[in-house]
Structure 1
Amino acid sequence: MALVKQSDNRGVVIAAVILMSWSVLLVYLLRYYDVDFASPLTYLFFLLQTHLYTGLFITAHDAMHGVAAPGKPKLNKAIGTVAAFLFAYNWYPRLLPRHHQHHRHVATAEDPDYHHGSFWLWYLSFLKQYITWWQMLLMAITFNLLKLFFPVENVVLYWMAPAVLATFQLFYFGTYEPHKGEHPADNPHKSGTQAKNHLWAFVSCYFFGYHYEHHDKPYLPWWQLYKTKI
Structure 2
Amino acid sequence: MNSNKALYKHIDPTGTIISILLIFLWFISLYFLLDWNISYTMPLVYIAILWQTHLYTGLFITAHDAMHGSVSKNKTINAFIGWITSLLFAFNFYDRLLKKHHEHHRFVATEEDPDYHESGNLSLWYWEFIKKYVTVKQLILMTLSLQLLRLIFPLENLILFWILPGILSTFQLFYFGTYIPHKGGHDKHKNKHNSGSLKKNHILAFISCYFFGYHYEHHDSPGTPWWRLWQIK
Aligned counterpart in structure 2 of residue 78 of structure 1, from 74, 77, 80: 80
1:56 correspondence with 2:59: yes
Q: Residue 217 of structure 1 aligns to which amino acid in structure 2?
A: S
Return the alpha-carbon distance in structure 2 between the equivalents of residues 164 and 21 of structure 1.
Answer: 19
Consecutive aligned runs of 4 or more in structure 1 exceeding 4 Å deviation: none
Aligned counterpart in structure 2 of residue 167 of structure 1, from 146, 170, 173: 170
Q: For 1:1-230, what aligned pairs fall within 5 Å after superposition?
A: 5-31=9-35, 33-69=36-72, 71-117=73-119, 118-184=121-187, 185-229=189-233
TM-score (norm 2): 0.94
Conservation of the 8 A alpha-carbon contact between 1:35 and 1:153: no
Return the alpha-carbon distance in structure 1 between the equivalents of residues 170 and 129 of structure 2.
Answer: 10
Q: CA deviation at 1:5?
A: 4.3
Conservation of the 8 A alpha-carbon contact between 2:109 and 2:185: no
**How many residues of Structure 1 are paired with residues of Structure 2 in the alignment?**
224
Q: Structure 1's 186 and 57: CA in aligned 2 closer, same or farther, altered over 3 A?
A: same
Return the alpha-carbon distance in structure 2 between the equivalents of residues 186 and 11 of structure 1.
Answer: 33
Gaps of 5+ in 1: none
Return the alpha-carbon distance in structure 2 between the equivalents of residues 144 and 219 of structure 1.
Answer: 39
Identity of aligned residues (%): 53
Q: CA deviation at 1:143?
A: 1.3
TM-score (norm 1): 0.95
Residue by residue over 1:92-138, the C-alpha shift from the partner in whole angstroms, topping out at 9 and shown as x without a partner, is 01100110110000000110000112111110111111110010111
Instruction: Please give the secondary structure, in 2, of the residue aligned with 1:55.
Output: helix
Conservation of the 8 A alpha-carbon contact between 1:54 and 1:167: yes
Gaps of 5+ in 2: 1-7
Instruction: Please give the secondary structure, in 1, of the residue aligned with 2:10.
Output: coil
Q: CA deviation at 1:148?
A: 2.0
Return the alpha-carbon distance in structure 2 between the equivalents of residues 82 and 216 of structure 1.
Answer: 27
Return the alpha-carbon distance in structure 1 between the equivalents of residues 194 and 65 of structure 2.
Answer: 21
Return the alpha-carbon distance in structure 2 between the equivalents of residues 148 and 5 of structure 1.
Answer: 47
Return the alpha-carbon distance in structure 2 between the equivalents of residues 60 and 77 of structure 1.
Answer: 9
Q: Residue 172 of structure 2 aligns to which amino acid in structure 1?
A: Q
Q: Residue 211 of structure 1 aligns to which amino acid in structure 2?
A: H
Return the alpha-carbon distance in structure 1 between the equivalents of residues 225 and 12 of structure 2.
Answer: 11
Instruction: Please give the secondary structure, in 2, of the residue aligned with 1:89.
Output: coil
Q: CA deviation at 1:182?
A: 2.1
